[in-house]
Structure 1
Amino acid sequence: MFIFTTALATAQATVFIPEGSTDTVRMVKAETGETIKRITGLEAVHGLSGSSGVPYLIAGSYAESDRASVAEIVQPEGVSEDEHAVHHAQPTEGPIGPTDAGISILSVLDAASGEILRRIEVPGAVHHTAVSPDGRFAVATHPSGDGISVIDMTTFKLTAFVATGSMPNYAAFGSTPDVVYVSNTGNGTISEVDLGRGIVRRNMVAGSAPEHLVINADKGILYAVDADEGNVMELLLNDGSVPRSFAIGGELHGMDLSDDRMSLYVAGRGEDKIAAVTLSTGDVTTAPLSPEPYHLTTIPGTGTFYVSSRAESKVWIIDEATLTPVGDFSIEGEGHQIVAVQ
């Protein structure tokens, strides 16, 4: 049951929540969590991303089909058979990416309506996605394929597969729209990928198993969750050094920065807590939240962030100043990579 207090300021934002095993994305009003609509036909959707001012979202499926069965993919409602065939046409120069990988689907959504506009075949199950600040590129991580797919958003085509490292997990853009950073959980590195050239420029050592990332583009600082170690690392993008590491404790998962980039919020799944890091001092404050806080996304202009639960089908609305819930609402399935769109 939804609970709401007047502590939330009114915001003109919509939040999209992938619901994993129910094959849906839920659109909700940011200030209340009230459902606007549910987008169906997105099998095993886990990764979901967008960028401010970009009219599209990219949803990734964690399910795979073998290449022979791709023609059976259901076409979106309102799309003609000819258009559907074009969207799923195989490239004439042969497949891009590992030839032994199955096929997964990236869906292009209208950020205003949630309508499915395109489906793009990519090699292997998609974990997370990211969209460049200028809307030109989208990327999807493939943990089983040790690389990322690169999508040209002007043509909605897969243009490259870039091998990054063992078990790529998360991707995040900084201030340069053709450069993306990818955490490789399997070998403890973060890759800096030049999307225009389709190459890895460098790899930075980052703890034992980096997962979720967030970047302060203005300061050139990347924050990476070393999930199993219970730490968040601060990396300087100019030289890859790690000047600080924040000990949160327990297994960690999602994180995000506050609007003013002065605080970092982290979901402590293993110890049923959330944490706030005051970045000017490095001080860490925690508060209990149960069960299993999972994905976390700041909601711009509200002084709140959303946190999903991995153990229950619910999302909390958390006040940034007090780290206490000011609301919660039920979803279906599991709440994965949450996106707020203004």
Structure 2
Amino acid sequence: MTSPLKLSLSAILAVLLTSASATAATVYIADGSADQIIVVDTDTGTVERRITGLDAIHGLSGAPGVRYLVAGSYSEVEGTEAPALAKPEGVSEDEHAAHHAKPAAGAMPKDAAISILTILDSKSGEILRRIEVPGAVHHTAVSPDGRYAAATHPSGDGISIIDLETLVFKAFVPTGSAPNYAVFSEDSASVFVTNSGNGTISEVDVEKGFVRRNLLVGTAPEHVVISDDGATLYVADADIGKIHEIAVSDGAILRSFEIGGELHGLDLSDDGSTLFVSGKSEDKLVAIDLQSGAMRTASLSPAPYHLTTIDGTGKIYVSSRDEPKIWIINQIDLAVIGEIAVSGEGHQMVVLP
């Protein structure tokens, strides 16, 4: 006899799958060492196209309704010249040169290595601008209002802020040792940066370009997400296998969840009630019920890495650090329901309607 629980789960899954067909989104995945972004249709799970010519892309970000994607390279370039883009037809040489001008003198740290941030049209994938930034880029973030982007520089102990209205480098802001991940506040006025080298999170005033405050957070905070209401941060204390729940208002650690092993990616469900976490070293995927604190765990091997929930579909995309693939996971029972092949390794992912 089929249990009521199984019937209930089946009914929920049916609703989710129906919703997925009605609200298919597009996922852009940074395919690191393959020097490309792959574009996936979430309805079919198939690769629609590949955006090539992007060296060692680790960081990739965007936001619903925002025109741009921001891709960051983890490699550094020789000299101080960003790779040139072809001059569009109908644009004068002076206009083209101004459009691709380097940052103003003194805007970047002296003697900094140079890496490239690439600005792409989120619909067409066309490369619109390449911007020099001070050092290898690990992750990027785009503000909800589309006004700014941020890029973390682990070797430079700070972040770059990019003005997305003018598509120019705005500022370098020192944050702390080995900045790893960044997430914007709900109102886009601040960006929170995890400093994995000194156990802090820096809140940066984006417009003025300075650190408003530093929060003490565990040992080695890395990936971070923010609740929809902007009141709570969830941070992976990666090396010691814990997730910390932090109040944005005063920086207090409200709860810590013991996951175990080395952690990596995390993301929230559509309604914010569940936090999903990839346990890279212990080959597992964990779902935390944020009301009760209860956890569900499923085996996922090898080395689950970056993780992104796909709004409106009941799915999670999880990359493997050791194999060139993305798992498609059912949020209800954490079962693998499909796979997407990549050529390198899946790093930061962006979901756009």
Conservation of the 8 A alpha-carbon contact between 2:241 and 2:262: yes
Q: Distance in 2 between matches of 1:172 and 1:180?
A: 6
Q: Distance in 1 between matches of 2:275 and 2:258?
A: 13
Q: 1:169 to 1:256 in 2, by over 3 A?
A: same
| Structure 1 residues 190-210: Cα deviation after superposition (integer angstroms, max 9, x where no partner) | 000001111100000000000
**Alignment-derived partner of residue 265 in structure 1:** 276
Alignment match of 1:134 (pick from 129, 145, 164): 145
Conservation of the 8 A alpha-carbon contact between 2:100 and 2:129: no
1:279-294 alignment runs, 5 A limit: 279-294=290-305
| Structure 1 residues 104-160: Cα deviation after superposition (integer angstroms, max 9, x where no partner) | 111111111211111111111100000001000000000011000001110001111
2:163 is the alignment partner of 1:122: no
TM (norm. structure 1) is 0.94
**Alignment-derived partner of residue 328 in structure 2:** 317
Conservation of the 8 A alpha-carbon contact between 2:230 and 2:248: no
1:151-230 alignment runs, 5 A limit: 151-218=162-229, 220-230=231-241
**Alignment-derived partner of residue 47 in structure 2:** 35
Conservation of the 8 A alpha-carbon contact between 1:87 and 1:120: no
| Structure 1 residues 265-284: Cα deviation after superposition (integer angstroms, max 9, x where no partner) | 00110100000000001111
Q: Distance in 1 between matches of 2:240 and 2:190?
A: 28
CA deviation after TM superposition for structure 1 residue 88, in Å:
3.7
2:160 is the alignment partner of 1:149: yes
CA deviation after TM superposition for structure 1 residue 95, in Å:
3.9
Conservation of the 8 A alpha-carbon contact between 2:238 and 2:263: yes
**Alignment-derived partner of residue 59 in structure 1:** 71
Conservation of the 8 A alpha-carbon contact between 2:306 and 2:320: yes
Conservation of the 8 A alpha-carbon contact between 1:88 and 1:121: no
| Structure 1 residues 51-88: Cα deviation after superposition (integer angstroms, max 9, x where no partner) | 121121100001111334x15x2426968794664344
Structure 1 gaps of 5+ residues are: none
The one-letter amino acid paired with 1:44 is A
SS in 2 for 1:321: coil
Q: 1:226 to 1:76 in 2, by over 3 A?
A: farther
| Structure 1 residues 203-251: Cα deviation after superposition (integer angstroms, max 9, x where no partner) | 0000000000000041500000000100100000000000100111111
2:342 is the alignment partner of 1:331: yes
Conservation of the 8 A alpha-carbon contact between 1:87 and 1:119: no
Runs of at least 4 residues off by over 6 Å: none
Aligned residues: 335
Q: Distance in 1 between matches of 2:192 and 2:86?
A: 31
Conservation of the 8 A alpha-carbon contact between 1:134 and 1:177: yes
Q: 1:78 to 1:46 in 2, by over 3 A?
A: farther
SS in 2 for 1:254: strand
The one-letter amino acid paired with 2:219 is S
Conservation of the 8 A alpha-carbon contact between 2:175 and 2:211: yes
Conservation of the 8 A alpha-carbon contact between 1:96 and 1:123: no
Conservation of the 8 A alpha-carbon contact between 1:270 and 1:292: yes
Structure (1 or 2) with the greater helix fraction: 2
Q: 1:76 to 1:338 in 2, by over 3 A?
A: farther
**Alignment-derived partner of residue 15 in structure 1:** 27
Conservation of the 8 A alpha-carbon contact between 2:24 and 2:313: no
Q: 1:78 to 1:249 in 2, by over 3 A?
A: farther
Q: Give identity over the alignment, percent.
A: 56
Structure 2 gaps of 5+ residues are: 1-12
SS in 1 for 2:346: coil
The one-letter amino acid paired with 1:291 is P
**Alignment-derived partner of residue 341 in structure 1:** 352
**Alignment-derived partner of residue 37 in structure 2:** 25
Q: Distance in 2 between matches of 1:106 and 1:84?
A: 18
